[in-house]
């Protein structure tokens, strides 16, 4: 299928969000928005975008503000948190509804790792705006991991290396310190697909299994042998699950 790749940045509330759309020629089509993981960028989703557009879906990839060292969006990692990324994704969805190439009845979100927990929260808060949710190795473990690293809310430093490899600000832990992600996401009752590797040591699969039990309308598939991220055969399997899910949930 013929398509173009077009930069479509979004400027809203003093934020500059860099993004790229993969747009098929002709009629309005379903849109899949990809939310990347911690310290990553839109480039993480390029291979998925190419598979999706080849199968008839428009795609939007973007960088979270302060989402990583290579982000082309505004902001610093010390200003980023799960909740600031929730706001970014909400802005993207609202803007996407105005694009003339989008079938607004069929907007889907795919979230990976931290982008998965972000996508899950946004899906619950913006249920009327999206048709479905796909989570790849979502990092529902982050709130517990933050509590393991820091003793108390009062002891949070202004700047710290979260998970010992990314410098973030106090806001990162503060925003989720007393937050119950499962209590919020279980409100989402539209079709949900969860994919997780059984060798994932960064985001344990047990957290995704718990989410699957709470969602009223979800499918869960274990990608055997996969760690935190899908490559090779695991990537191919994940693409098949995603395409099957989209096909049966498009109006």
Sequence spans of domains, the chain: 3-249
Report domain 3-249's class.
Answer: alpha beta
Q: What is the pLDDT of residue 180?
A: 96
Q: Is the pLDDT of residue 1 over 80?
A: no
Residues 6+ apart with CB under 8 A from 28: 100, 101, 102, 103
Residues 6+ apart with CB under 8 A from 41: 63, 67, 68, 70, 71, 72
Coil, strand or helix: which one is 42?
A: helix
Q: What is the pLDDT of residue 129?
A: 97
> How large is the average pLDDT for residues 36-62?
97
> For residue range 144-189, what is the model confidence (pLDDT) as tens digits?
999 999 999 898 999 999 987 899 999 999 999 999 999 999 999 9
Q: What is the pLDDT of residue 163?
A: 86
> How large is the average pLDDT for residues 112-121?
98
> For residue range 180-203, what is the model confidence (pLDDT) as tens digits?
999 999 999 999 999 999 999 999
Both structure tokens of 95: 């803007």
CA–CA distances in Å: residue 211 to residues 98, 116, 220:
32, 12, 10
DSSP state of 119: H
DSSP state of 43: G
Residues 6+ apart with CB under 8 A from 205: 196, 197, 198, 222
> For residue range 203-248, what is the model confidence (pLDDT) as tens digits?
999 999 999 999 999 999 999 999 999 999 999 999 999 999 999 9
Q: What is the pLDDT of residue 229?
A: 96
Give dist(CA 35, CA 70) in Å, integer.
Answer: 15
Q: What is the pLDDT of residue 189?
A: 97
Q: What is the pLDDT of residue 14?
A: 93
How far is C-alpha 229 from the chain's CA centre? 13
Q: Which of 209, 53, 181, 180 is nearest to 118 (CA)?
A: 181
- Report the chain's mean pLDDT, rounded to a whole number: 96
> How large is the average pLDDT for residues 14-20?
97
DSSP for 197-240? ETT-SSS-HHHHHHHHHH-SSEEEEEETT-BSB--THHHHHHHH
Q: What is the pLDDT of residue 58?
A: 98
Count of residues in the chain: 251
């Amino acid at each position: 299928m013929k398509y173009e790749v077009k930069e479509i940045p979004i400027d809203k509330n003093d934020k500059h969000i860099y993004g790229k759309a993969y747009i098929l020629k002709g009629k309005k089509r379903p849109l899949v928005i990809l939310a990347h993981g911690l310290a990553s960028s839109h480039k993480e989703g390029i291979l998925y975008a190419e598979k999706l557009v080849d199968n008839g879906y428009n795609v939007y990839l973007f960088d979270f503000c302060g989402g990583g060292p290579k982000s082309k969006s505004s902001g610093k990692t010390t200003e980023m948190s799960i909740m600031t990324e929730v706001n970014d994704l909400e802005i993207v969805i609202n803007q996407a509804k105005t694009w003339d190439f989008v079938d607004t009845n069929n907007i889907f979100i795919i979230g990976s790792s931290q982008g998965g927990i972000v996508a899950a929260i946004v899906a619950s808060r913006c249920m009327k705006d999206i048709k479905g949710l796909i989570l790849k190795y979502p990092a529902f473990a982050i709130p517990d991991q933050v509590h393991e690293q820091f003793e108390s809310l009062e002891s949070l430093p202004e700047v710290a290396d979260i998970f010992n490899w990314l410098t973030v600000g106090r806001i990162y832990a503060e925003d989720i310190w007393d937050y119950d992600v499962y209590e919020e996401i279980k409100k989402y009752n539209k079709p949900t697909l969860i994919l997780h590797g059984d060798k994932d040591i960064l985001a344990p699969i047990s957290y995704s299994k718990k989410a699957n039990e709470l969602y009223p309308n979800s499918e869960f598939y274990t990608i055997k042998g996969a760690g935190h991220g899908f490559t090779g055969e695991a990537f191919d399997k994940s693409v098949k699950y995603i395409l099957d899910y989209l096909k049966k949930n498009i109006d």
